[in-house]
Amino acid sequence: MLEKLIVFVEEPSMETTLEQLLPKLISEADFEIRRFQSKDELLRKLPDRLRGYKNWLPANWAILVLVDRDEDDCLLLKQTLEKMVAEAGFVSMTAGRNDHHFQVANRIVVEELEAWFFGDWQAVQAAYPRVFATIPKKDGFRDPDAISGGTWEALERVLKKAGYFKTGLRKMECAQAVSQHMDPARNTSKSFQAFRGAVSSFLSMT
């Protein structure tokens, strides 16, 4: 049974969001968020960090690596992460799925955190009541992971149109406001569902 989940993230707004979300997903286990200064720093330091954890990580602890896709090829990015895990001596969730013997999962946020907010528009409405309820039904917004032109830029435009963040989106403030209202069970973002599935798999690992 999972005792502790360590999550690697690339930026502060994801850390803020997970501080609100993870207690809703793993109330029976502890968690710790390790934040890097950027995606580049996370990818650069991840191999050494994983090798260090391999030396002492208890069998009932797990590691979840979360990175934004941004403009990267999703398949190549996932392959890069999987290679780092294997070279550190861990079995990843992807590699060990058949026998349920894994300690690390790599999950890619498509294309970035704000897609998860579009995936739970009720949470955005709760935080910012003037936004239109019909946004998820509009062309270009039906699939949160396929919003073009930058997800955070799209969210900024929607919020500005509703009268919020007139001088520009403050990502940390927005993450704090929206994530406290998020319900993991209703999120329509496929990358969020993959993240949630990884956490659930850790909770059921033996």
**What does the mean pLDDT of the chain come to?**
95
Q: Where are the domains of the chain?
A: 4-111+189-203, 114-179
pLDDT digits (tens, 9 = 90+) for 9-23: 999 999 999 999 999
Cβ pair 23, 10 in contact under 8 A: no
**Residue keyed to tokens 């850390």:** 15
pLDDT of 149 = 86
Q: What is the pTM of this model?
A: 0.95
The ranges of the chain with pLDDT < 70 are: 97-100, 206
Residue % of the chain over a pLDDT of 70 = 98
Going by the DSSP 8-state scheme, the letter that residue 150 receives in this structure is -
175: CB partners within 8 A, 6+ apart: 13, 14, 16, 17, 113
pLDDT digits (tens, 9 = 90+) for 173-202: 999 999 999 999 999 999 999 999 999 999
How far apart, in Å, are the Cα atoms of 87 and each of 9, 51, 57, 58, 119?
A: 20, 8, 16, 19, 34
Distance of alpha carbon 100 from alpha carbon 104, whole angstroms? 11
Region 4-111+189-203: CATH code: 3.40.50
